[in-house]
């Protein structure tokens, strides 16, 4: 499988995951695209350095050949999938944690009524130095 094909699958899977599976609708939010624009800027700098200095070299047969700041467009699209999915899972797990029901008390036949809570009392003041303890 080429890097281009793997990237296309990752992007489609990311969009489906957001809109149909996790339903975070992150890709429809202006805040996501604003944050992503900042991330892409740094991604271009890092990819430009790594690929421009030939620290990372791509097999030209595995990519489309289209590049932005020395980086293959596939890198940008794959980076989009990584960033978007990280945020989608974060939002989804956060919502799920906030929706967990509190522990339920048993109800129904045979369950004992809950005992009333003991009233809260203030602790007795400690004795002053030289006074006897009257607790």
Cα atoms found within 13 Å of the Cα of residue 15, Cβ hemisphere only: 7
Q: List Cα–Cα distances, 83 to 13, 39, 110, in angstroms.
A: 13, 9, 52
72 domain residue, yes or no: yes
Sign of the four-CA dihedral 128, 132, 133, 135: negative
What is the total count of domains within the chain?
A: 1
90 domain residue, yes or no: yes
133 domain residue, yes or no: no
Range of the domain at 88: 3-98
48 domain residue, yes or no: yes
113 domain residue, yes or no: no
Residue 93 pLDDT exceeds 90: yes
Which tens digits make up the pLDDT trace of 102-132? 666 666 666 666 666 666 666 666 667 666 6
Q: Token digits for 71? A: 């980086």
Q: What is the mean pLDDT of residues 56-80?
A: 91
Q: What is the mean pLDDT of residues 84-96?
A: 93
73 domain residue, yes or no: yes
Residue for token pair 């899972």: 89
E strands in 9-60: none
- pTM as predicted: 0.67
Q: What is the dihedral of CA 10, 15, 19, 22, to 10 degrees?
A: 30
């Amino acid at each position: 499988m080429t890097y281009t094909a793997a990237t296309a699958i990752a992007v489609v899977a990311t969009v489906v995951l957001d809109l149909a599976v996790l339903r975070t609708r992150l890709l429809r939010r202006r805040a996501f695209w604003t944050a992503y624009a900042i991330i892409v800027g740094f991604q271009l700098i890092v990819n430009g350095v790594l690929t421009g200095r030939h620290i990372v070299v791509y097999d030209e047969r595995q990519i489309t050949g289209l590049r932005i700041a020395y980086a293959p467009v596939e890198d940008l699209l794959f980076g989009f999938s990584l960033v978007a999915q990280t945020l989608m899972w974060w939002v989804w797990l956060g919502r799920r944690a906030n929706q967990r029901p509190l522990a339920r008390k048993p109800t129904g036949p045979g369950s004992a009524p809950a005992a009333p809570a003991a009233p809260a009392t203030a602790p007795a003041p400690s004795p002053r130095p030289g006074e006897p303890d009257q607790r």
